[in-house]
């Protein structure tokens, strides 16, 4: 770089917009996206360890996609090349590949190729990247505002981990403002700037989760206000209109029209008006909305109200006659009419007939407010939607408005004409919606990555060695926990649950407590079959000292889930331990434990026919063995003792009793473990029986227990959540 180029670069940096100057340089400065780069997450560990694979960042503008790539550029030892798909072509790709090949061949240095707006590349340009990504010549990092499963070459997607970035939360935006006002080098820390609280609230609210829009408005407010005191009036002048993410070919378009239609189908006029307003505000073509309403009138109302099609079509014609802005009246009238109509999908009988003709070809199952046609498997869009036609009266107590607007009333029917006939019905449905017990929203899948076949085969072999009952318990624990791919989990008793956790959270992280040095050594050796990033983080400690170890070695980690199988059976102080673990549990995190109930263990005397022993001796055996399960209440507890474990811990527990039966082979080793002279069982019986009676009982057991027996087990599945607000 010559002197003139250096001077030009210095001027560009000095005169850059505030949003560019304040771009975070490292992970400590990065704000938001905790599910992606929070402590313990796979991506954060990969960046810190400089062990990146190909990545795709997907999300709205201003959420930190390009910034995250810059953070990687500042952190990695690899050569970093950045291009913009809007300006670059195949020639630029070839140049980057040539550079990468030279560096790899001459210096053994890897190359990261960052492609901003990667969806702007056409198919041939994306195809030009594929072989070099596949053979490892470059590590691709792509950033896109469009759904990669629709806009990016499927072959590239299948070879990359996809991370979905969400709009920033209000607290994140406020933190960015405070950083800007205190940063003397890049922000306004060298000035005395006062910003009113209501002005800050306005900037944060209207920025709509977009950090770039927020900083642009803040810069305008500061640079155009002589006294540098930002009031609400100044803030309103700086950012007058909310930034709207709405591309007529993108996710926002499909998701919003999907929510609009499903709100009408659910007979919710308030949500219908809300989603209609969202589309009109964003500039959606009204004729497109009318076309969808005409379709809806036939698909979801049909013969229940044949006038619905007439109204929808008449309103569309009225709109063509009057245009905007007055055309909003027939637009809203048609939407309200369709939303409050009785519903029937009898016209769908045609599609039943069509399915028969097509030999019942599998169809998509409709499931959320968001459109799920393109990424249901990857991001989980579409889960949790309750189909109104499947319920009585074709309606179900389901919220269609966003969480923050639940219960908001936009439509208030009068007592005149047709409205009077629907007024009571609308009111009844609103009351039912508010009174219904709403389950927690299903979390959205934020990450997706290709399956590592070698790792998957290794885990399959490891998990395949588990017994049938143990495998069933493991599956039950994780089906109850329902972890997301980016979650961070803690296994209280390192073993089978640890390996299953690695399968469940491939973009998250797994911590496991190894209670003894022998277990730690064995698991460390077993984990050698995995890459460094894929291995669990083993903590060599007992449960008693686990909270202390977590406070020092994982102080930043809040676990999304904590699991354990028979982890607490040998812990004498369960309540203090659980209270300490609650401090390391995320606000929406859960603990799922499977604990074998000792008191309900199968009594061995039940395996003997009564006639093999004298009645008096058999009753003596019963009393002696039963006393084993009452001598130590802390060790031989029953299911009703579990509630006491959680007293004063801040945790709430639900307990389910699971009973299972397995065939147990009666081997020589098993007989010795149960009936040998040094066994705990026989030593306990010796406290109540003579040596002669004890030997008689032992011989009876050995004689009667031949090949196998049906062993019954009772397990307490303990589901724990932290009720503190997130």
Q: What is the pLDDT of residues 71-85, one digit of tens each?
A: 888 888 888 888 888
The two domains 33-164 and 451-597 share their CATH topology (first three levels equal):
yes
Beta strands at 488-491 and 559-565: parallel, antiparallel or unpaired: parallel
- The runs of H, that is alpha helices, within 482-603 are 496-504, 517-526, 546-553, 574-582
How does residue 510 score in pLDDT terms, banded at 50, 70 and 90? very high
pLDDT, tens digit, for every residue of 19-56?
Answer: 888 888 888 888 888 888 888 888 888 888 888 888 88
Axis-axis angle for helices 546-553, 574-582 (nearest 10)? 20
Greater confidence (435 vs 473) lies with 473
**Non-local CB neighbours of 378 within 8 Å, separated by 6+ positions:** 149, 162, 445, 448
> What's the confidence (pLDDT) of residue 167?
83
CB 176 within 8 A of CB 26: no
Range of lowest pLDDT (372-376, 398-402, 494-498): 372-376
Question: Is the pLDDT reported for residue 113 higher than 50?
Answer: yes
How does residue 372 score in pLDDT terms, banded at 50, 70 and 90? low
C-alpha R_g of the chain: 32
Residue 102, Cβ neighbours under 10 Å: how many?
A: 13
Range of lowest pLDDT (196-200, 414-418, 586-590): 414-418
Range of lowest pLDDT (82-86, 335-339, 397-401, 522-526): 397-401
Question: Is the pLDDT reported for residue 588 higher than 80?
Answer: yes
Greater confidence (163 vs 208) lies with 163
CB 274 within 8 A of CB 260: no
Question: Is the pLDDT reported for residue 592 higher than 90?
Answer: yes
> What's the confidence (pLDDT) of residue 198?
81
How does residue 455 score in pLDDT terms, banded at 50, 70 and 90? low
Pick the CATH number of 170-238 from 3.30.1370.60, 1.10.3210.50, 1.10.10.10, 1.10.8.60: 1.10.8.60
CB 112 within 8 A of CB 68: no
Phi, psi of 444 (to 5 degrees): -90, 135
Question: Is the pLDDT reported for residue 364 higher than 50?
Answer: no
Range of lowest pLDDT (231-235, 290-294, 617-621): 231-235
> What's the confidence (pLDDT) of residue 366?
33
> What's the confidence (pLDDT) of residue 516?
85
Ranges of each domain in the chain: 33-164, 170-238, 251-435, 451-597, 599-631+667-706
Beta strands at 139-144 and 111-116: parallel, antiparallel or unpaired: parallel
> What's the confidence (pLDDT) of residue 414?
57
| CATH number listed for the domain at residues 251-435 | 1.20.272.10
Question: Is the pLDDT reported for residue 526 higher than 70?
Answer: yes
> What's the confidence (pLDDT) of residue 442?
46
Average pLDDT over residues 564-583: 84
Cα–Cα distances in angstroms (integers) from residue 499 to residues 40, 465, 533, in the given order: 17, 12, 14
How does residue 352 score in pLDDT terms, banded at 50, 70 and 90? low
Mean pLDDT over the full length of the chain = 79
Element (H, E) at 376: helix 376-379
Q: Which tokens belong to 591? A: 């603990």
Phi, psi of 196 (to 5 degrees): -65, 150
CB 524 within 8 A of CB 538: yes
> What's the confidence (pLDDT) of residue 368?
45
> What's the confidence (pLDDT) of residue 261?
92
pTM of the model: 0.64
> What's the confidence (pLDDT) of residue 347?
67
Greater confidence (401 vs 639) lies with 639
Average pLDDT over residues 292-302: 88
- Beta-bridge mates of residue 143: 57, 116
**Non-local CB neighbours of 208 within 8 Å, separated by 6+ positions:** 167, 242, 243, 244, 245
> What's the confidence (pLDDT) of residue 311?
92
How does residue 365 score in pLDDT terms, banded at 50, 70 and 90? very low
Greater confidence (379 vs 148) lies with 148
Report the SS3 class of residue 57. Answer: strand
Superfamily of domain 33-164: P-loop containing nucleotide triphosphate hydrolases (3.40.50.300)
Greater confidence (471 vs 289) lies with 289
First-to-last alpha carbon distance for the chain, in angstroms, is 50
> What's the confidence (pLDDT) of residue 17?
82
The arrangement of strands across the sheet holding 447-448 comes to: 79-84, 111-116, 139-144, 55-58, 161-164, 447-448
Question: Tokens 């047709």 sit at which residue?
Answer: 418
Q: Which tokens belong to 690? A: 């003579």
Cα–Cα distances in angstroms (integers) from residue 225 to residues 142, 217, 623, in the given order: 39, 12, 88
How does residue 10 score in pLDDT terms, banded at 50, 70 and 90? low
How does residue 339 score in pLDDT terms, banded at 50, 70 and 90? very high
Q: Which tokens belong to 466? A: 């588990």
Greater confidence (437 vs 173) lies with 173
Of all residues in the chain, what percent carry a pLDDT higher than 90? 8
Element (H, E) at 490: strand 488-491
Range of lowest pLDDT (135-139, 361-365, 715-719): 361-365
Report the SS3 class of residue 360. Answer: coil
Greater confidence (96 vs 379) lies with 96
* Nearest residue to 116 via CA among 65, 189, 190: 65
Average pLDDT over residues 116-130: 83
Of all residues in the chain, what percent carry a pLDDT higher than 70? 80
| CATH number listed for the domain at residues 451-597 | 3.40.50.150
Cα 258 from Cα 372, distance rounded (Å): 9
Greater confidence (298 vs 668) lies with 298
Greater confidence (420 vs 542) lies with 542
Greater confidence (459 vs 386) lies with 386
> What's the confidence (pLDDT) of residue 650?
83
Cα 54 from Cα 137, distance rounded (Å): 11
Cα 165 from Cα 150, distance rounded (Å): 17
The secondary structure of 269-333 as a DSSP string is: HHHHHHHHHHHHHHT--HHHHHHHHHHHIIIIIGGG-THHHHHHHHHHHHHHHH-TTTTHHHHHH
pLDDT, tens digit, for every residue of 460-499?
Answer: 555 555 566 777 888 889 999 999 888 999 999 888 888 8
Residue 370, Cβ neighbours under 10 Å: how many?
A: 22
> What's the confidence (pLDDT) of residue 353?
56
Greater confidence (159 vs 663) lies with 159
Greater confidence (303 vs 343) lies with 343
């Amino acid at each position: 770089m010559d002197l003139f180029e250096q001077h030009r670069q210095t001027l560009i940096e000095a005169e850059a917009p505030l949003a560019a100057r304040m771009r975070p340089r490292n992970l400590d400065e990065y704000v938001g996206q905790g599910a992606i780069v929070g402590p313990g997450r796979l991506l954060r560990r990969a960046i810190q360890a400089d062990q990146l694979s190909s990545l795709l960042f997907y999300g709205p503008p201003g959420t930190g996609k390009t910034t995250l790539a810059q953070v990687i550029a500042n952190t990695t030892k690899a050569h970093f090349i950045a291009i913009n798909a809007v300006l670059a072509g195949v020639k630029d790709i070839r140049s980057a590949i040539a550079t990468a090949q030279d560096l790899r061949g001459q210096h053994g240095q890897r190359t990261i190729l960052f492609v901003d707006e990667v969806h702007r590349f056409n198919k041939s340009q994306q195809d030009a990247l594929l072989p070099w990504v596949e053979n490892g010549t470059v590590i691709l990092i792509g950033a896109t505002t469009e759904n990669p499963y629709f806009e990016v070459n499927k072959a590239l997607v299948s070879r990359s981990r996809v991370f979905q970035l969400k709009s920033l939360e209000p607290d994140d935006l406020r933190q960015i403002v405070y950083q800007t006002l205190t940063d003397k080098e890049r922000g306004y820390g060298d000035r005395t700037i006062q910003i009113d609280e209501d002005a800050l609230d306005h900037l944060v609210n209207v920025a709509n989760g977009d950090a770039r829009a927020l900083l642009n408005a803040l810069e305008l407010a500061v640079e155009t206000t002589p006294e540098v005191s930002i009031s609400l009036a100044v803030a309103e002048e700086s950012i007058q209109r909310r930034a709207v993410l709405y591309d007529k070919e993108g996710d926002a378009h499909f998701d919003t029209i999907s929510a609009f239609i499903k709100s009408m189908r659910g007979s919710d006029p308030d949500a219908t008006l809300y989603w209609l307003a969202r589309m009109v505000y964003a500039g959606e073509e009204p004729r497109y909305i009318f076309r969808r309403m005409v379709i809806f009138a036939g698909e979801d109302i049909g013969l229940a109200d044949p006038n619905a099609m007439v109204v929808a079509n008449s309103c569309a014609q009225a709109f063509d006659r009057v245009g905007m802005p007055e055309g909003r009246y027939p637009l809203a009238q048609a939407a309200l009419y369709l939303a409050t109509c009785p519903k029937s999908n009898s016209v769908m009988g045609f599609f039943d007939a069509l399915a028969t003709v097509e030999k019942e070809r599998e169809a998509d199952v409709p499931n959320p407010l968001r459109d799920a046609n393109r990424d249901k498997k990857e991001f989980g869009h579409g889960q949790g939607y309750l189909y109104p036609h499947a319920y009585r009266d074709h309606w179900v107590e389901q919220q269609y408005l966003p969480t923050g607007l639940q219960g908001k009333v936009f439509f208030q029917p009068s007592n005149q004409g047709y409205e009077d006939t629907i007024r009571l019905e609308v009111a009844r449905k609103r009351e039912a919606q508010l009174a219904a017990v709403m389950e927690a929203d299903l979390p959205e899948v934020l990450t997706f990555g290709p399956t590592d076949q070698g790792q998957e085969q290794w885990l399959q072999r490891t998990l395949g060695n588990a017994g049938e009952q143990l495998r069933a318990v493991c599956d039950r624990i994780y089906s109850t926990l329902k972890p997301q791919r980016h979650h961070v989990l803690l296994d209280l008793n390192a073993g089978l649950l640890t390996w299953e956790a690695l399968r469940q959270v491939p973009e998250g992280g797994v911590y496991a407590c190894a209670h003894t040095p022998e277990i730690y050594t064995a698991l460390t050796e077993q984990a050698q079959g995995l890459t460094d990033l894929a291995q669990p983080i083993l903590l060599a400690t007992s449960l008693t000292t686990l909270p202390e170890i977590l406070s020092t070695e994982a102080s930043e980690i809040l676990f999304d889930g904590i699991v354990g199988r028979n982890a607490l059976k040998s812990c004498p102080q369960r309540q203090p331990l659980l209270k300490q673990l609650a401090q390391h549990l995320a606000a929406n995190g859960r603990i799922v434990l499977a604990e074998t109930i000792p008191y309900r263990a199968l009594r061995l005397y039940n395996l003997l026919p009564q006639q093999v022993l004298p009645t008096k001796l058999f009753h003596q055996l019963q009393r002696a063995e039963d006393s084993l399960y009452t001598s130590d209440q802390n060790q031989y507890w029953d299911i009703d003792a579990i509630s006491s474990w959680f007293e004063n811990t801040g945790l709430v527990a639900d307990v389910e009793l699971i009973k299972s039966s397995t065939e147990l082979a009666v081997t020589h080793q098993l007989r010795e473990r149960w009936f040998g002279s040094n066994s705990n069982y026989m030593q306990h019986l010796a406290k109540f029986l003579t040596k002669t009676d004890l030997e008689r009982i032992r011989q009876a057991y050995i004689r009667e227990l031949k090949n196998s027996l049906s062993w019954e087990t009772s397990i307490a599945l303990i589901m724990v959540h932290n009720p503190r607000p997130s």
